[in-house]
Amino acid sequence: MIGLLFVLAMQAATPDIIVSGKRLDEAYQACVEQGCPPLRDAQVLIAFAEQQFRQGAYQRARRTLAAAVARNKQNAAIAPKPVAALYEAYATVSLHDGEMDVFKKAVGGQVRTLRENLPRDDPAVTAAAFATGDMWLALRDGRTAERSYRAVERQALADGNATLAMLATLRRAELANARNDPAGAARLLAEAEARPAATDPALRSVSQVVRLRLAAQRADDGQVDRLVREIGHDTTTRPVLIWGPPYEPTAEAAARDAAAKFDLRNPVPASSSDVGSIQWVDIGFWIKPDGKTDDAEILRGSRSTGWAGYLVKQVSARRYTGTDGAAGARGVYRVERFSLRGTYQTPTGSLINRRGGPGELEVLDLTLPDTKITASR
């Protein structure tokens, strides 16, 4: 979700709200019943919704954030960053809940709030530059995502924003690689590395990660080990994913996608009797100093977690950039939420919008940062 490459180069501190249990419940009730300033309202409501989300109450978290957005959207001019943070949280929860139309609208609200109320060079505007492209990627529309990233690149070049332009080019290189176009990815990477901005240490680190990811697609285990060592150890950033086995789609999703390639009718359309549920698990694992993972395990989940065994295997095979072990001999511990769900739709023969259709997987890092989405002035 939320772009790891962009985080590497553009991290900015924002104040977190760390409240839990009874204190958070009381703060939530006070803001709902008595009203709070926009910043406080955003912080409390996001923390409260995150608590609901972590407990698997996706719909309740989405309703919490929907109410917060409705209450605060008129404050966009005076508090654009808190309002944008509410939209961002609303988008994240909606994506995991399968409400794709709401997800799109929330991302649009986030981007629009920042662009209309802050200078173009404000770090918050810059940080949201790729939100629309990332949204299209989440919707499995790589072509539109590419157009979005290209638009960011063109605008950045016109504005003289060399950093953002290079990041956009690198984002396009990664997308080309993901779409099985290694030649296009290599061309875009070379284009980015030829720019004067490539001498910036932070951007050089980002381009190294992209180069490593491209190489890892074609490398065996021994070559990946060598490539990870070559990138060096950067203690200023968390380990970044270099390679992992692809997630296998469910049988229904695979059949639907295969039919779509040939413009055939969906072989598994949602029926009027479909009522799709959500299955989720939290998987914890160590990222060792050499970039390998260790002790991947399911920490908790919804009902039976037997379906998620293949996800433990996927996590166990990942490779990350290394660290120097300063965080501890075992490395860095991470917890990720995996949500398997259909999407909201109105099936033929029904007037009720409900979750259904093939299950699709969404993944969210629950350990970056401690409070997932923060609000700042």
SS (H, E, C) the chain: CCCHHHHHHHCCCCCCCCCCHHHHHHHHHHHHHHCCCHHHHHHHHHHHHHHHHHCCCHHHHHHHHHHHHHHHHHHCCCCHHHHHHHHHHHHHHHHHHCCHHHHHHHHHHHHHHHHHHCCCCCHHHHHCCCHHHHHHHHCCCHHHHHHHHHHHHHHHHHHCCHHHHHHHHHHHHHHHHHCCCHHHHHHHHHHHHCCHHHHCHHHHHHHHHHHHHHHHCCCCHHHHHHHHHHHCCCCCCCCCEEECCCCCCCHHHHHHHHHHHCCCCCCCCCCCCCCCCCEEEEEEEEECCCCEEEEEEEEEECCCCHHHHHHHHHHHCCEECCCCCCCCCCCEEEEEEEEEEEEEECCCCCCCCEEEEEEEEEEEECCCCCCCCCCCC
pLDDT of residue 108: 97
Contact call for residues 142 and 123 (beta carbons, < 8 A)? no
Residue 126 in any domain: the answer is no
What confidence tier does 347 reach under pLDDT thresholds 50, 70, 90? low
Q: What is the pLDDT of residues 32-52, one digit of tens each?
A: 998 899 999 999 999 999 999
pLDDT at 229 over 70: yes
Q: What is the pLDDT of residues 250-263, one digit of tens each?
A: 645 544 455 455 55
pLDDT of residue 225: 75
What confidence tier does 1 reach under pLDDT thresholds 50, 70, 90? very low
pLDDT at 2 over 70: no
- Averaged pLDDT, 259-281: 62
What confidence tier does 66 reach under pLDDT thresholds 50, 70, 90? very high
Residue 193 in any domain: the answer is no
What confidence tier does 358 reach under pLDDT thresholds 50, 70, 90? confident
Residue 66 in any domain: the answer is no
Mean pLDDT for all residues in the chain: 82
pLDDT at 214 over 60: yes
What confidence tier does 18 reach under pLDDT thresholds 50, 70, 90? very low
What confidence tier does 265 reach under pLDDT thresholds 50, 70, 90? low
Residue 256 in any domain: the answer is yes
pLDDT at 325 over 70: no
pLDDT of residue 118: 96
pLDDT of residue 79: 95
Residue 100 in any domain: the answer is no
Query: 10-24, 30-44, 141-155, 281-295 — which is least confidently predicted?
Result: 10-24
Residue 346 in any domain: the answer is yes
- Averaged pLDDT, 71-100: 95
- Averaged pLDDT, 293-310: 92
Q: How many independent structural domains does the chain possess?
A: 1
Query: 125-129, 143-147, 319-323, 325-329 — which is least confidently predicted?
Result: 325-329
Which residues are CB-contacts of 348 (< 8 A; sequence separation ≥ 6)? 269, 270, 271, 272
Residue 38 in any domain: the answer is no
* Distance from C-alpha of 127 to C-alpha of 164, rounded to nearest angstrom: 9
pLDDT at 184 over 90: yes
Residue 345 in any domain: the answer is yes
pLDDT of residue 373: 41
pLDDT at 88 over 50: yes
Q: What is the pLDDT of residues 98-156, one digit of tens each?
A: 999 999 999 999 999 999 999 988 989 988 999 999 999 999 899 999 999 999 999 99
pLDDT of residue 370: 42
Query: 1-10, 60-69, 122-131, 280-289 — which is least confidently predicted?
Result: 1-10
pLDDT of residue 4: 34
Q: Which domain holds residue 324?
A: 238-377
pLDDT of residue 232: 58
What confidence tier does 247 reach under pLDDT thresholds 50, 70, 90? confident
